[in-house]
Structure 1
């Protein structure tokens, strides 16, 4: 068995602000820019772990909030850790649980110490502090862990944005101390700080600068894609990434659509996660090089063509639109399985092509061509001769 390597990041090349790199963790390497499929409850919905890996995923995401409630982090640790539990021997990133506490939990009370909340499952009471969040992530055994932060929705008043940003900075320090206390550095794991500041440029810059003074292995941009227009998100990236450490990975949390990712890579982001490709697949929506294709639409009911005959993915290439439309309309489970497979395949293909374009210093050309293909839209309706 090969020796496990500690966390590291190598920036291999750049093309404008777009970056091509490689993250090394105890469970393997992650080629960046990278899309991380979301395995909220220790599973990427409707997919086998082997399928997810075959599509090109180097890392998946697990959710601290959900896993602390069911089956509990202590039980996962007893069963050998999250990698063994979900049969994923590659890199795992866990989020801190903060976003879910703010958005899902009932009757929550936030103060300097942390957040007290009731489970959305059964009303049981729990307390999440920066220290407890790290403790849970250490029990899960993830390779990349996140500080606890406060993520607020937008729009919001500047005073409220600043309060949450300053609290997140204080929680960052506490998260780091707990991470080091529990031996995360010795185990070769990485802890990321999270830039907050809402849609206020100077607060974003201040947050990034203060976090940059702390010894994190990577840095995330949080609190975006929470209700603001895409233009606002991209503007915040334009002011934030230039002041983030250049020699550490940059992770835009909870984003997003293929266009969001393409535009964010152009602004210096290395990592992404989003439930969109899996959730869309379960609701009859396919992502392709032609843009989005709604399989609920009756135009597909007699179309014998696949979603994309040039694709490598069997779900994309080997099943007719008519069949997929039928599965969606009769609510068969196979519909979600095939369309999730297609969507994750497209996301990973897009990231692979982005990496290649950066390596060959033609990212802007690739970006323009890809957006042109999306704008052109899906193929014309099939006409029987």
Structure 2
């Protein structure tokens, strides 16, 4: 659609891991990268200062939620989402397709789009490929996503094919609308198409071939991490990256654990997002260089160590496990903020390490060791 924002710098000589660079008007994103989720133009519990300190490069917001509240027209009036929230870095918006798909009892899917009922006040709304692109123009994110129908798991070939056909027709309509309606905030927005097809490889290949004809600025893999076994997720992602264009960014949506990310990087994926690090932090679970740590456990009540002695985040530099457990047991919001800072910094540091090891041509051996370590229970 526009000049390609992605530059492939290196592919591992021992596999498919890639080192790249995504250029936007709000900054350069080094890949592989994890994007903290800021659904409502806010990463839950964190300030923009926190995001800068953990070295976030790009964050994600959600069109469905921002459409409902505060409204995308208001965001446009405020100068776009970056100005609205005080974040001057790159942003990506999901189209909201997954969210309206998940409203099983409150939506109706037709050829023209999806009619749904707001969970906020019961009001009725309709998303079409065109209206979702208009909303994302108003929000003003640097990367915007196609409106798709997420294929559930399990699904038959017929069910997945029917869903895929909707997605492909909606993608073409979205791109036609974008061509006729340029960005309104004075900088380019890059459009990513979404590969669907469920767990059926022939449909995934059909989706990729059709999207190549449309030539979006990047490619996302949707319909993964929707209940399928993890090895099947890896298999489908690995299959898709065999056929996706090498010169475009590749994004797996809604995934996952640190070991999921390392395993998918090895299969040629560049970009990730997931609510897991923030959600688990609020549940008293953090990721560390020595494995998974459940700091809410009683044995950590008088533990003076940081969550992770090897972590450079604000939480680990200043607070102990014992104090974090006290905050958790006391339901003090500070505990959720500090542990979220740690988890997100851990993810972003892991991506820094991944980029280093891809450049050093030892990614595969390093990642294999890390995957084993990261799944352990930390002491």
Could you state the TM-score of these two structures normalised by the residue count of structure 1?
0.94
Superposed, 1:8-157 pairs within 5 Å as 8-15=5-12, 16-104=15-103, 106-157=105-156
Is this contact kept in 1: 2:217–2:248, CA < 8 A? yes
Q: CA deviation at 1:282?
A: 1.4
Superposed, 1:187-336 pairs within 5 Å as 187-336=187-336
Return 5+ residue gaps in structure 1 as ranges: 380-385
Residue matched to 1:173:
172
**SS across alignment from 1:213:** helix
**SS across alignment from 1:166:** helix
Residue matched to 1:378:
378
Is this contact kept in 2: 1:64–1:133, CA < 8 A? yes
Q: CA deviation at 1:184?
A: 4.2
CA distance in 2, matches of 1:82, 1:189: 13
Is this contact kept in 2: 1:309–1:316, CA < 8 A? yes
Could you state the TM-score of these two structures normalised by the residue count of structure 2?
0.96
CA distance in 2, matches of 1:296, 1:187: 45
Deviates more, 1:115-124 or 1:149-158: 149-158
Q: CA deviation at 1:369?
A: 2.3
Is this contact kept in 2: 1:105–1:118, CA < 8 A? no
CA distance in 2, matches of 1:273, 1:141: 19
CA distance in 2, matches of 1:105, 1:88: 34
**SS across alignment from 1:219:** strand
Q: CA deviation at 1:106?
A: 5.0
CA distance in 2, matches of 1:288, 1:310: 8
Deviates more, 1:127-136 or 1:95-104: 95-104
Q: 1:106 and 1:187, CA in 2 relative to 1: closer, same or farther beyond 3 A?
A: farther
Q: CA deviation at 1:310?
A: 2.4
Deviates more, 1:102-111 or 1:44-53: 102-111
Is this contact kept in 2: 1:148–1:172, CA < 8 A? yes
CA distance in 1, matches of 2:69, 2:61: 12
Larger relative contact order (CA 8 Å, sep ≥ 6): 2
Q: Could you give the per-residue CA deviations for residues 90-119 of structure 1, whole angstroms, max 9, x where no partner exists? A: 111001111101114752111000001110
Is this contact kept in 2: 1:6–1:26, CA < 8 A? no
Runs of 4+ in 1 over 4 A off after TM superposition: none
Return 5+ residue gaps in structure 2 as ranges: none
Q: CA deviation at 1:23?
A: 0.4
Residue matched to 1:382:
none
Q: 1:283 and 1:180, CA in 2 relative to 1: closer, same or farther beyond 3 A?
A: same
**SS across alignment from 1:41:** coil
Is this contact kept in 2: 1:106–1:123, CA < 8 A? no
Deviates more, 1:358-367 or 1:98-107: 98-107
Q: 1:137 and 1:269, CA in 2 relative to 1: closer, same or farther beyond 3 A?
A: same
